[in-house]
Structure 1
Amino acid sequence: MRLVIRQDDLKEIIKMTERSAVEVCGFLFGRREGNDFIVEEIRFIPNRLNSPTAFEMEPLEMVKAIDRAEERGLEVAGIFHSHPKCPPRPSDRDLKGMRLWPVVWLIVTSKGEVRAWILEEGKVEAVEVEDEVDSVRGI
């Protein structure tokens, strides 16, 4: 499995993570093609917990973002968030969220480490992250 994301989008997530003392979070909008999750757009959503060790996206902002994405024919391909003080592995809290949102979870550290995971058939599996230069897709 692969998560394909624009290099500029990945850099933006990393930059926001490096600047924030609390967990940064949001959606990866796009589509799934076989075993590939293709990200067309990222959307930061405020973390209502304002915590360095946990996140909860603001519900109203989540709904607005999903509605806008669906208007453009996009779906939730993944969720991203940061681990400012921990390795980029799913926490117990993340695992609960992964059961509710069965998409790719991209985790970024404040040191710029990036890993992606998916929960399938009760097992957490690593997902390859492929960052693309925009011109590769003709964007």
Structure 2
Amino acid sequence: MKEILTKARESKVEVCGFLIGTMKGEDAFVDYVVFAENRLNSPVGFEIDPLETLRVLEKAEEEGKEVIGIFHSHLNCSPYPSHRDLKGMDLWRNVWLIVNNTGEYRAFVLENGQIKEINVGVT
């Protein structure tokens, strides 16, 4: 988490990437993160190259792990899903960790079309 928050604080564009780990029931355990290039290079949106996504998925699978979530940052606003994020959450149905450049973070899933906040435990 520390690395994500540091990069989010230092960046002028949204940082983004993948949360790699395992699921145990409804609990997600993150082993490591993979930062991805924001193809939009934008302070108000992010997009990850599909080939980069495929490489990350394949590597995680080889390790017996999975992509359990996506993370990205918001600049100068709360870490809550935007309208654009909702579209992404509808396509990529896993944990969405959103941080901001002031050190706040929250995680969400989309259930039955509704945003549900989930607890984040950092050890």
Whether TM exceeds 0.5 here: the answer is yes
1:52 aligns with 2:35: no
TM-score by length of 2: 0.97
Q: Which runs of 4 or more aligned residues in structure 1 lie more than 3 Å from their structure 2 counterparts after TM superposition? A: none
Higher relative contact order (CA 8 A, sep 6+): 1
Unaligned runs of 5+ in 1: 1-9, 133-139
User: Aligned partners of 1:74, 1:14: CA distance in 2, in Å?
Assistant: 23
State the superposition RMSD in angstroms. 0.8
What is the identity percentage for the equivalent residue pairs of Structure 1 and Structure 2? 52
Match of 2:27 in 1: 36
Match of 2:76 in 1: 85
Within 5 Å, give how 1:68-107 maps onto structure 2: 68-107=59-98
User: Aligned partners of 1:52, 1:115: CA distance in 2, in Å?
Assistant: 19
Match of 2:112 in 1: 121
Q: Is the 8 A contact 1:52 1:85 kept in 2?
A: no
Amino acid at match of 2:99: V
